[in-house]
Structure 1
Amino acid sequence: MSDEKLALELYRNLKGNKYLIVMDDVWNIRAWNDLEMSFPDDKNGSRIIITSRLDDVALSIKRVSTPHRLQFLTEDESWDLLRRKVYRKGECPSEFNEVGKDIAAKCRGLPLTIVVVAGLLAKKKNLDWWKQLAASLGSVLANSEQIMDILALSYEHLPLHLQSCFLYFGAFPEDSDILAYRLIWLWIAEGFVCPREQQITMEDLAEDYLKDLINRNLVLVSKKTSNGGIRTCRIHDMLRELCLRKAEERNLVQPIDWYKRVASPSTPISSNNLCFHSHGFHDLSENPLCTNICSRFFYASERTPPRELTTTSFVYKFLWALNLCYILLKVFPLEILQLFHLRFLELWIDHLDKLPLLISNLWNLESLIITKEEWDGVIIPVGIWKMVKLRHLRISEEIEFETLSNSGCPYLLNELQTLSALKLSHSGKDAEDILARTPNLRKLTFYRGPSKGGSFSLPNLENLSNLESLKLSENSWELTHSRIPQPNKFPENLKKLILSGGHLEWKEISKLGKLPRLEILKLRRNCFSGHKWKTGDGEFCQLKFLKLSWMDLKQWIITSTRHFPNLERLVVDRCKYLEEIPAVIGDVPTLETIEVYWSSRSAVDSAKRIQEDQKTKGNDGLRVISYSLDEKEASEECPVS
């Protein structure tokens, strides 16, 4: 029978009858499109239930109802399901409760895992067996072919360009939250991201890859950015085990754990492997069979004293990515400068005054991230300008470039997108010279340390047409006589602005209100000084997120919803003098959330009044999350902003 005749036969059998159809684990919209016309709608209460692991499929199929997203089970729900699966209609003996709850919690809310474990527990309903299983549950689940076969379907349905990206999660420790920017830069360094169009950057394409994995429910968002983007992500323990299995099959990831998974010293390691340590780096550094690996991660189980690396730690001449962000180093390891193929480098260093003169040896480097323990600045040598492939330079303390005058250096860093944190001088001219050589920046952080007074000028930024995020950190603004440039002196595409410190007059903020594309504004640590802020019409027309933190503001006056017409989220944090949040802000039609943390009781009460007032107007969607100075717990869980 042909497909057309089969579809017609199905329609005839269902016509006039009340039916329930369940289509389980649908992987593409085509399956639904082929069958949709076979389901008659006789308005008699018939229902169709469709399950899918893919958000795109669910959103494409929806007819009259919004897709229901299943969440992971809570620990109580997990224990309830486990108990019912093991004992069916019987009661679980009380002496099994403690170990049973422990087992349920280790299933991490995944129903599939709970059902498999319940089958094992049901075989022997004695306490010793349950305790034995609880102690070895991780390895038992990792070796469960039933679980792995089901999860493997998600991997097998991935397009090829996403498979390597997904397997890369196996290189990170279990239960770890992974910074999205770090993951994306590593993917790029490994060559997983290859744009087919010049209009999109590798970073934007990699972010699309990450969103695709999230929409396929393979990756979880742990924390979001202020604009709803991805700050950190993670994967379920069982999916991580799947990553390790598949990655080892492809010689992509070989986990080396000195205490759990000690590699045989006689086992060669493929040049395509990515090796990582959970507790240190000494065990592979002396293994000559490891010299051809392409990437290496080191993870410390706990904070360790600063240490120096031996020469044998860097016999890996073909490294593309080296991540030492969990190992505190005394100084910059000069041996790294021999790793000419390196594309990604992240270090955690106790003491660093200046990058090595020969840093330009790393001419393939795309991402350089350095976190410093000491709070002093770092000097960048002139040789940095020869590193023309550099895309991201991120150092935790202020950086100062060596003088370019008379250096005869012709190079521009046209690929550089991230620069943090550039030191400001009083004139701003030094910074202007740097910015003229980095014309395609998208994210820029300025830092200005303590000084003895006087004003300063922000360097000319209007030519940075790609700049979307600007941060002026710590004492970036001088205490007196400083002014914010006119709106036309800012980059035209600026979307995010963070100010911290400086004590500017509130009247200066009206210039920021005229920035045409500004969506995110964070004001911290009295960047504006004074007790009164009055906004005006036509200001902050595109602003979606506003955060006030550690401000001495008392009165905030808003007279019209036209002042913040597109505001979605307001966060007030540690503003202990603020008397109230303006009531009119509740009438902004786009407003979704007001958050007030560690601020005055009157500010918290005003937020709650706004919420109640909106309810009387029929707006039940406004959320208020509050935590006053004299409260021990927040009224709702505080999301990360």
Structure 2
Amino acid sequence: MEDIVESCDRTPTPTKSSSQRRYSPIDEELEGLQDVAEQMMHQLTRGTVELDVISIVGMPGQSKTTLVRRLYNNPSIVAHFDVRAWCSFPQTYNVGKLLLEILKQIIAGKRITVGGHSMADMLRKSLMGKRYLIVLDDIWEVEAWDVLRSSFPDDTIRSRIIVTTRYHHLARNLKSHSYPFHLRMLNDDESFKLWQRAAFQGEICPPELFEVGQRVTRGCKGLTDLIIMIAGSIPKKERGDPKLWLKVARELSSHSLDDLLMKMIQSSYDRLEDHLKCCLLYMGLFPNGYEIPVSDLLKWWIAEEFVQNIDTLKLEETSKSCLYDLVDRYLITVTETKSDGEIKYCKVREEVHDFCSRTIRVEKFVQLVVPYNPHQPAVDTDEQRKCMYIHDTMKNEYSSDKAESFGETQGSLEFIAHPKFSIPHRTNLYPLLNDFRLIRVLHLLDMYLESSWVTAFQSLTHLRYLAIFVKELDFKWLSHLLHLQTLRVRSSYTMISPAIWKMAKLRHVDINEFSITWEENERVNIVESSEIVLYNLKTLGMFYMSVAHMTPNFWEKFPNLEELRLHIDEFGDVPDDSVLSRKFDFPSSLKFLSLCDIFLTDEVVLTIARLRHLETLKLSEIYFTGEKLLDLNDNEFPALRVLKLHHVFMMQWICSDASSSFALLETLVIKSCSKLEEIPYSFGDIETLQFIKVISCRKSVLESALQIQEYRREESNFQVQVSYKD
């Protein structure tokens, strides 16, 4: 283990900036499944008007989940159904937890109060009258379906449930109008095509590899995931070497199908650089099938020092490079992307997760010191590096007196993961955390903390990552955390005092609402001092700020700030002319800017246009004085790739030369802009435009988007994807 940890210090610097790379999924995993996908699309959108259960049966590694995920995220499917939910089944499951998981997706953003009703009743009532799509992924037993089925009403409006399973008898026992889809193995031709696309990612396969490639794929016996794993088992820069593929072919011929997957996963793991082994095993701590938020994962890797870079300002790029390396090797799968193409959620492949669980024990990568955790096995207690992992199924088992069972190992604990974990109110964290002095990552964002948390955190001076949900926060309570890199807070009231300037290692401050409070003499001293600078800060928001304080001198305190979420105080109500005409600045280094609840004046637009590195702009709750008009004719946004408009109260949008104003725009999202009549037709001239998403707008806005789509198709045969949702 010591060798693994030490080697993490030697993370290579990526040769290409990861911030320039977007995840571009290719259809390699649907090879041989196109006919099934077409039939399923028909049954999902047409077929019987009654509720139908569509089941897919196949052995592990046949891409059942991949097929369904592609359909689930298809824009036509998204537009067809009122609500959707995805639920993955562990081998041991809790019905209440599964129902809650589905319910949270159905009533997204609303508070769940069960009251006198059961969770099943609440889910049923939430679905009534809606055309819904529910995915139940990897069901192991008929009893699970029998318990859930009463929660799904049939309002004869073509609602659908998709079930994936590896068991034929389970599919036969589902009462449905559709026959189960039984996935077949790929034939030799399909296997070879899949291997080519996966190994060379759209590029031409060298002719000298044809013969050995066919030998490799024949050895895979038509199993989709095995072909994909093998395609990624050799590093990209070495995939043109026939000798390496010949070695793989020989290995395949000497193993049974049951052993092949694990053999190839072991081979892929052995070829990983040591820092990538750390990153992969770390992901194996989470439950099988758990979708990990990438924005958090990258920060956790940095906090644990798995990724390092001589230039500390580029740690995020290095971390992202590691993620894409694991994706390229097909060890992890992407489950959701952002509108800009960046990866939003990912998970470890099922077979890889099994491998990680075993390797964690063998290599003693972490010590799991919670003996009553059903999701993780226990290992020896004499290791130096230790980890406590608590999952939400433990919420009824946790109590402060059980902290004593951790024994003498507490002082060496480094990490706590808390996905969706909650414990009863008024639980005292102090006995649990007081002696865990080496914790680096503490994620408690889904658990409301009582006031005792302030005392409990006093000894956690090694924290690098902290995410908490509290009633109120005063920054001075955390000012002793001098190693802190990431702070995420959900709070009804947050006050950031001048103590923030002591925390020089801060990289990301993500708080739902906050402002910096200081005496006037303190503000002047800090702003004018050249020594008080947060060089490492990359993300800041949601920041409530006065226009008067938005000066170049202030923003110089954050010379490397890339993401800013800002609420300008004076623009909250109808401002007077003196405020509207006041000049102000944004940090020139910004790549992401979110502005909320402001009046969009010509001065604001000009200030934004001066941000030459800005790639993403999000405008929410935007008002106008006089005419409800957004005129961008004289402004250019040279680096902008993503533009999001949410509750922008304009009637007209003037932009006669969009190809000049938005030369690199790829994604346009318009949501709840109820007064907007149409998208400027000139957006059809933007050669880089790939995606237009319209949500809860006038029908004329959708019609203008479709006109742009048709124009692009006629002019350049280039498809602009249009998505619409009421």
How does the TM-score come out when normalised to structure 1? 0.67
> If each structure's helix is expressed as a fraction of its own residues, which one has the higher value?
2
Q: Is the 8 A contact 1:566 1:591 kept in 2?
A: yes
| CA deviation map 1:513-570 (0-9, x unaligned) | 3432322221111254541122224522332221111111111122123232222221
- Structure-2 residue corresponding to 1:624: 722
- 2:301 equivalent in structure 1: 187
Higher relative contact order (CA 8 A, sep 6+): 2
Q: Which residues of 2 match residues 557-568 of structure 1 at below 5 A?
A: 557-560=654-657, 561-568=659-666
Q: Distance in 2 between matches of 1:298 and 1:225?
A: 24
1:437 aligned residue:
532
How far apart in 2 are the matches of 1:574 and 1:447? 23
Question: Residues 471, 310 of structure 1: CA spacing in aligned structure 2 closer, same or farther, 3 A cutoff?
Answer: closer
Match of 2:561 in 1: 467
Q: Which residue of 1 aligns with 2:426?
A: 307
Q: Give me the whole-angstrom Cα distance separating, in 1, the residues matched to 2:520 and 2:628.
A: 43
- Show the 5 A alignment for 1:332-347: 332-347=453-468
Offset at 1:436? Answer: 7.4
1:220 aligns with 2:333: yes
Measure the CA separation in 2 of the matches of 1:526 and 1:431: 32
Is contact 2:679-2:701 (8 Å) kept? yes
Shift of 1:467: 2.5
Partner of 1:158: 272
Residue in structure 2 matching 1:505, options 581, 597, 601: 601
1:520 equivalent to 2:605? Answer no
Residue 215 of structure 1 and its aligned partner are, at CA, apart by 1.9
Tell me if 1:70 matches 2:189: no
Match of 2:682 in 1: 584
Distance 1:575 1:475, change over 3 A: farther
Q: 1:188 to 1:271 in 2, by over 3 A?
A: same
The correspondence for 2:448, drawn from 307, 322, 328, is 328
Find out whether 1:543 has 2:501 as its counterpart.
Answer: no
1:98 — aligned with what? 172
- Which residue matches 2:649? 552
Distance 1:516 1:404 in 2: 32
In 2, the alpha carbon distance for the partners of 1:218 and 1:398 equals 39
2:628 is equivalent to residue 531 of structure 1: yes
Cα 1:562/1:361, change in 2 over 3 Å: closer
Give 2:586's match in structure 1, choosing from 469, 481, 490.
490
What residue identity is the alignment partner of 1:316?
Answer: F
One-letter amino acid of the structure 2 residue matched with residue 590 of structure 1: T
Confirm or deny: 8 A CA contact 1:369 1:394 kept in the other structure: yes
Deviations 1:116-135 (A, max 9, x none): 99xxxxxxxxxxxxxxxxxx
Are 2:695 and 1:601 equivalent residues in the alignment?
Answer: no
* Aligned mates of 2:564, 2:528 — CA distance in 1: 18
Q: 1:151 to 1:518 in 2, by over 3 A?
A: same
CA–CA distance in 1 between the matches of 2:168 and 2:498? Answer: 71
Match of 2:692, SS state, is: strand
In the TM superposition, residue 302 of structure 1 has moved relative to its aligned partner by 6.2
Alpha-carbon distance change, 570 to 321 in structure 1, aligned in 2, over 3 angstroms: closer
Report the Cα offset of residue 404 of structure 1: 8.8
Alignment-derived partner of residue 392 in structure 1: 508
**Match in the other structure for 1:233:** 346
Residue 588 of structure 2 aligns with an amino acid whose one-letter code is: E
- Is 2:554 the counterpart of 1:458? no
Alpha-carbon shift at residue 490 of structure 1 (Å)? 3.5
Q: Does the residue aligned with 2:458 lie in a helix, a strand or coil?
A: helix
Q: Deviations over 1:424-471 (max 9, x none)?
A: xxxx9699479973342332335338xxxx975523355344222222
Moved more, 604-613 or 175-184: 175-184
Unaligned 5+ runs, structure 2: 1-14, 16-23, 38-54, 63-165, 184-216, 226-257
Q: Distance in 1 between matches of 2:567 and 2:530?
A: 17
Q: Which of 568, 571, 577 is equivalent to 1:477?
A: 571
What's the offset of the Cα at 1:595?
A: 1.4
Question: Taking structure 1 as reference, are residues 67 and 317 closer, same or farther at Cα in structure 2, changes over 3 Å only?
Answer: closer
Contact 1:500 1:527 in 2 (8 A): no
- Name 1:424's counterpart in structure 2: none
8 Å CA contact 1:355, 1:380 repeated in 2: yes
Output the CA distance in 1 between the equivalents of 2:386 and 2:290. 21
Q: 568-577 or 361-370: which moved more? A: 361-370
Q: Distance in 2 between matches of 1:113 and 1:434?
A: 68
Q: 1:536 to 1:507 in 2, by over 3 A?
A: farther
CA 1:163–1:219 in 2, change beyond 3 Å: closer, same or farther?
A: same
TM-score, normalisation: structure 2:
0.60
Per-residue deviation at 1:259? 5.8
Alpha carbons 2:615, 2:639 under 8 Å: kept: yes
1:245 to 334, 358, 367: 358
Segments of structure 1 that go 5 or more residues without pairing to the other structure are 1-55, 57-65, 86-91, 106-110, 118-143, 407-427, 630-641
- 8 Å contact kept, 1:587–1:614: yes
Shift of 1:341: 3.0
**Secondary structure in 2 aligned to 1:201?**
helix
Partners in 2 of 1:400 and 1:151 — Cα distance?
50
**Residues of 2 paired with 1:149 and 1:292: CA distance?**
38
RMSD of aligned alpha carbons: 4.3
Distance 2:499 2:704 in 1: 56
Tell me: CA distance 1:484–1:218, structure 2 relative to 1, closer, same or farther (3 Å). Answer: farther
Question: 1:288 aligns to what?
Answer: 407
Structure 1 distance, partners of 2:559, 2:330, is 36
CA distance 1:455–1:600, shift in 2 (3 Å): same
Counterpart residue identity of residue 550, structure 1: H
Structure 1 residues 187 and 200, CA, compared in 2 at 3 Å: closer, same or farther? Answer: same
Alignment partner, residue 48 of structure 2: none
Identity %: 24
What is the identity, as a one-letter code, of the residue corresponding to 1:472?
Answer: L
Asked whether the 8 Å contact 2:567–2:598 carries over to 1, the reply is: no
Q: Does 1:149 align with 2:241?
A: no
Q: Is the 8 A contact 2:507 2:539 kept in 1?
A: no
Structure 1 residues 49-73: Cα deviation after superposition (integer angstroms, max 9, x where no partner): xxxxxxx9xxxxxxxxx99652268
Q: Secondary structure at the match of 2:712?
A: helix
Distance 1:558 1:405, change over 3 A: closer
Amino acid at match of 1:513: A
| Aligned CA distance change for structure 1 residues 499 and 395 (closer, same or farther; 3 Å) | closer
What is the aligned partner in structure 2 of residue 37 from structure 1? none
Indicate the residue corresponding to 2:43 in structure 1: none
- Within 2, Cα distance between the matches of 1:362 and 1:346? 13
Please name the residue that 2:235 is paired with.
Answer: none
Distance 1:569 1:70, change over 3 A: same
Which of 594, 606, 615 matches 2:713? 615
Shift of the alpha carbon at 1:288? 0.6
